[in-house]
Structure 1
Amino acid sequence: MRDVQKTIGNLIDRQSTAFIGSVSQDGFPNVKAMLAPRKRIGLKTIYFTSNTSSMRAAQYRENPKACVYFCDRRFFRGVMLTGTMEVLEDSESKEMIWQEGDTMYYPLGVTDPDYCVLRFTAESGRYYSNFKSENFEIEP
């Protein structure tokens, strides 16, 4: 891969769905489809919206180990990022990624107590394309 940031960044930005992984209380992997990230800072930091009361938020609070997978089904390629997920409930984080129409999910608005932000911080990555995989470094 010539330009990791560009290649992987473009793949992420073109997907409408992301798959996030967490670890259950009994140590098993759990995967969930999510809407596309709300904000991305390079490949290092990715922000999602979620419900404070969700099972996933509880799992990340207990064990922050996580992965995020993006799949381009058309060209059969994908990227898995592994790292940690934080559950943020501060008003600055919530306002940063709030979008018009979010009241459909969080009827009380940006201050809805059931609205939180999931901040994923990548530590490593693996890219799959053309029937082969390769690891890549995550730049700060």
Structure 2
Amino acid sequence: MRNPEETIGKIIDKASTSFIAYVDDNGYPITKAMLKPRERNGIKTIWFSTNTSSNKVKYFKKNSKASVYFIDKRFFRGISLIGTMEVLETAEAKERIWQDGDTAYYKEGVTDPDYCVLKFTATKGRYYCNFKSEDFEV
């Protein structure tokens, strides 16, 4: 892969669904489908919105180890990023990624206590394309 940030960035931007994984209290990985990220800074930092009351938030508060996965269905390519997930509940973080229409999920608006931000920071990744995989540092 000549330019990981560009290639992977395009996959992230075009993906309609994201998959995030966290570790439960018994050490098992749990994978959840999510809406596409709200924002990203290259492929190093990716922001998602979610419900504060969700299991993933509960577990990320205990153990920040995480992975995110994006797929390009058309060309059967995939990218797995490994790193840590922070749960952010500050007004600044919430306002940063708030979008019109979010009241469908968070009835009380940007200050809804059941609305929070997940900030993923990648440390390494694995890219799959053309029947082979390639590891890389982020």
Return the TM-score normalized by structure 1: 0.98
Residue identity over aligned pairs, in percent, reads 62
Instruction: Work out whether 1:46 is the aligned partner of 2:49.
Output: no
Counterpart code for 1:93: A
**1:136 positional shift:** 1.2
**Matching residue of 2:26:** 26
CA displacement 1:66-119 (0-9 Å, x = unmatched): 000001112111000000001000000000000000000000000000000000
> Residues of 2 paired with 1:70 and 1:40: CA distance?
13
Could you say which residue in structure 2 is the equivalent of 1:12?
12
Instruction: Describe the superposition over 1:34-56 as per-residue Cα deviations: whole angstroms up to 9, x where unpaired.
Output: 00000000111000001111000
CA separation in 1, counterparts of 2:85 and 2:72? 23
Amino acid in structure 1 at the alignment position of 2:128: Y
Corresponding residue for residue 114 of structure 1: 114
Distance 2:27 2:73 in 1: 29
Distance in 1, matches of 2:125 and 2:64, equals: 17
**Which residue of 2 is the match for residue 133 of structure 1?**
133
User: Following superposition, which runs of at least 4 residues in structure 1 exceed 3 angstroms of deviation?
Assistant: none
What is the CA–CA distance in structure 2 between the aligned matches of 1:137 and 1:25, rounded to whole Å? 28
> SS of 2:119's equivalent?
strand
Q: CA deviation at 1:129?
A: 0.1
Deviates more, 1:69-78 or 1:97-106: 69-78
Helix, strand or coil for the counterpart of 1:40?
Answer: strand
Which residue matches 2:70? 70
| 3-state secondary structure, aligned to 2:103 | helix
> Aligned to 2:34, what secondary structure does the other structure show?
strand
Distance 1:105 1:23 in 2: 25
SS of the aligned residue for 1:8 comes to helix
Q: Which runs of 5+ in 1 are unaligned?
A: none
Q: Distance in 1 between matches of 2:5 and 2:73?
A: 20
Q: Distance in 1 between matches of 2:23 and 2:48?
A: 18
Aligned equivalent of 1:96: 96
TM superposition shift of 1:123:
0.5
